[in-house]
């Protein structure tokens, strides 16, 4: 007769809530750390949350391996079927969640029914040697020097992608917004098609850029002229846009070849910065050599998200005043 081993703890069957069971049964990420629960929580917190079908679709099209988790609601279940297939192939979790949980995950009510938790993009420092190569192929670029509203950054990125421009420089100005969740959402996938670099010292960089680019800043000052009235120049354009309230910093404007404005009827002082950017980028796109990238209108996306806000200082960056 066998004597029971009283040193062993009795077997206890653990129970799980529906949410916990769904998490356990979901495929595990091949990238996500699995050391401890706290490690996983920290990792998940560092992921960027990209919301909206167009933005999420762009990530899957351009760099699907950045997507670590995918969340969607009932109304988007059919639309994200292809995304789920890709997630399953990568052995990464995807979940159908309710409205309140999706809002919590995304941090906004404007999530569009689908959210991807992705590894954030790195923004490398700008190298003037890269600009030399870009200029040789006639590629225009845009520099944001103090754009503080991430919605404005996203709207400008969307415009750049729409017109087929690909280079965006963001400054080290203390007010400058970065590639936040909000910027990605408003960009409607546009940021995925851009090469984004960080500029250290805008005025200094603008001076160096002038060897390869015609650098123009936006301003309402007396010296500003319409972009189309600038004298002919073989260099491609580099457009500098500044802070919503104060415009392009004085030192940066002084480093530009010229300052430009968009004439209006005089009833309001200026346009918001993303509207200014859209008009000027359209003009820049018309001047550059033909490009191979095809830019087509996404009708649903275009009607959903319009340009977002900005303006300039009368004597500094005059094209936008909030």
Domains, the chain, ranges and CATH? 21-118 (3.30.1330.30), 128-304 (3.40.1280.10)
Query: What 3-state class would DSSP assign to 82?
Result: helix
| pTM for the predicted model, two decimal places | 0.76
Per-residue model confidence (pLDDT) at position 313? 36
Could you read off the pLDDT of 222-274 as tens digits, one per residue?
A: 688 999 899 999 999 999 999 999 999 999 999 999 999 999 888 888 899 99
Average pLDDT per consecutive 10 residues, the chain (322 residues; last block may be shorter): 49 50 43 45 76 97 96 96 97 96 94 96 95 95 97 98 97 95 96 97 97 94 86 94 93 95 87 95 80 40 36 37 38
Task: Yes or no: say if 194 and 160 are a contact pair by the CB < 8 Å rule.
Answer: yes
> In the structure encoding, which two tokens stand for residue 52, read together?
């909206």
Q: Could you give the C-alpha distances from 170 to 87, 113, 178, 198, 220, in angstroms and in order? A: 32, 30, 8, 5, 22
CA pair distance 314, 321, nearest whole angstrom: 8
Distances (CA, A) of 127 to 52, 73, 200, 252, 276: 33, 43, 10, 18, 27
pLDDT for the residue numbered 268: 85
Residue labelled with tokens 């409607």: 188
């Amino acid at each position: 007769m066998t004597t029971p081993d009283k040193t062993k703890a009795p077997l206890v069957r653990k129970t799980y809530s529906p949410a916990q069971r769904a998490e356990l049964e979901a495929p595990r990420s091949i990238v996500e750390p699995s050391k401890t629960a706290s490690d996983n929580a920290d990792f998940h917190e560092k992921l960027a949350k990209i919301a909206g079908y167009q933005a999420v679709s762009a990530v899957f099209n351009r760099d699907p391996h950045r997507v670590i988790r995918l969340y969607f609601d009932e109304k988007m279940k059919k639309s994200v079927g292809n995304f789920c297939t890709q997630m399953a192939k990568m052995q990464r979790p995807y979940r159908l969640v309710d409205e309140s949980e999706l809002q919590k995950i995304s941090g906004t009510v404007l999530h569009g029914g689908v959210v991807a938790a992705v590894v954030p993009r790195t923004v490398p420092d700008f190298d003037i040697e890269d600009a030399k190569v870009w200029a040789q192929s006639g590629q225009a670029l845009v520099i944001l020097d103090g754009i503080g509203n991430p919605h404005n950054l996203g709207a400008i990125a969307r415009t750049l992608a729409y017109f087929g421009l690909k280079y965006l420089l963001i400054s080290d100005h203390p007010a400058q917004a970065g590639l936040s969740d909000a910027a990605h959402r408003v960009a409607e996938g546009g940021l995925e098609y851009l090469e984004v670099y960080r500029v250290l010292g805008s005025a200094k960089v603008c001076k160096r850029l002038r060897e390869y680019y015609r650098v123009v800043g936006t301003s309402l000052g007396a010296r500003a002229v319409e972009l189309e009235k600038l004298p002919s120049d073989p260099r491609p354009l580099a457009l500098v846009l500044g802070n919503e309230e104060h415009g392009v910093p004085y030192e940066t404007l002084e480093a530009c070849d010229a300052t430009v404005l968009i004439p209006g009827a005089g009833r309001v002082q200026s346009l918001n910065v993303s509207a200014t950017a859209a008009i000027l980028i359209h003009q820049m796109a018309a001047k550059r050599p033909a490009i191979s990238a095809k830019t087509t209108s996404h009708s649903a996306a275009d009607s959903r998200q319009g340009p977002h806000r900005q303006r300039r200082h009368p004597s500094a960056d005059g094209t936008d005043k909030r």
